[in-house]
Amino acid sequence: MTTAIYPGTFDPIHNGHIDIATRAAKLFDHLIVAVYERPGKSILFSVEERLEMARKAFEHYSNISVESYATLTVDFARSKKASVIVRGLRVISDFELEFQMALINKKLAPDIEFLCLMTSQEYAFLSSSIVKEVAALGGCVDSMVPPHVREALQRKFKELGRDKITIISLRD
């Protein structure tokens, strides 16, 4: 049985992530969407919230599960007996970072392969930052996220007050 992990921040999960995960799930027996607990960038949703949104997004996929982790990605992969780390690629600027991460991970864990899937054209512009920015300003995110994520964004921005939102980072 081949297990792969798809690690990321997923703050929040959006249709571009879901597209990568569902395509990757066709290549492996089991795909674990791995929600990184402590990213170095500022985040809007707690790890529990990010987990819940991701779990709901994949509830109808029998070979996709969702877990959080706070260790090195390769250590998490090993603990799950995963032999592949999947990532998504949008633009050239993604490539630089993913390439660097692939090389570092390969050094740390030569037995684990790093696989990048190209974004689908309709999601090439999509990032969690864009979703948060559009939602914070009251724009429509229906084509970007599933309904339960849209509702979570609306709840969060109501709770926080839109004027308190500082947006965030362009690369995510």
Nearest to 136 by CA among 100, 109, 161, 116: 161
Q: Determine, following the binding rule CB under 6 A, whether residue 9 of this chain makes contact with ligand ADP.
A: yes
Q: Where are the alpha helices (H) located in the chain, listed in sequence order?
A: 15-25, 47-57, 73-79, 92-108, 128-136, 147-160
List binders of ligand ADP among 17-46 (CB under 6 A).
17, 20, 39
Nearest-angstrom CA–CA distance, 57 and 145 = 9
CB of 157 to ligand ADP, least distance (A): 19
Marked catalytic residue, from 41, 81, 155, 162 = 41
CB of 49 to ligand ADP, least distance (A): 14
Q: Which of 8, 34, 54, 85 binds ligand ADP (CB under 6 A)?
A: 8
Part of the chain binding ligand ADP (CB under 6 A), chosen from 5-13, 55-63, 64-72, 147-155: 5-13
CB nearer to ligand ADP: pick between 1 and 140? 140
Stretch that binds ligand ADP, among 83-91, 107-115, 139-147, 159-167 (CB under 6 A): 83-91
Give min distance, CB of 131 to ligand ADP, in A. Answer: 10
Stretch that binds ligand ADP, among 53-61, 88-96, 144-152, 159-167 (CB under 6 A): 88-96
Catalytic residue list contains 17: yes
Q: Cα 7 to the chain's mean position, in Å?
A: 6
According to the binding rule CB under 6 A, does residue 84 interact with ligand ADP? Answer: no
Residue whose tokens read 């960038």: 41
Residues 69 and 34 sit within 8 Å (Cβ to Cβ): yes
90 noted as active-site residue: yes
Strand partners, 66: 33
User: By CB under 6 A, is residue 50 in contact with ligand ADP?
Assistant: no
Sheet with strand 113-118: strands edge to edge: 64-69, 30-36, 3-8, 84-89, 113-118
Pairing relationship of beta strands 84-89 and 64-69 according to DSSP bridges: unpaired
Measured distance CA(96)–CA(158) in Å, rounded: 36
Q: Which residues are catalytic?
A: 17, 41, 90, 128
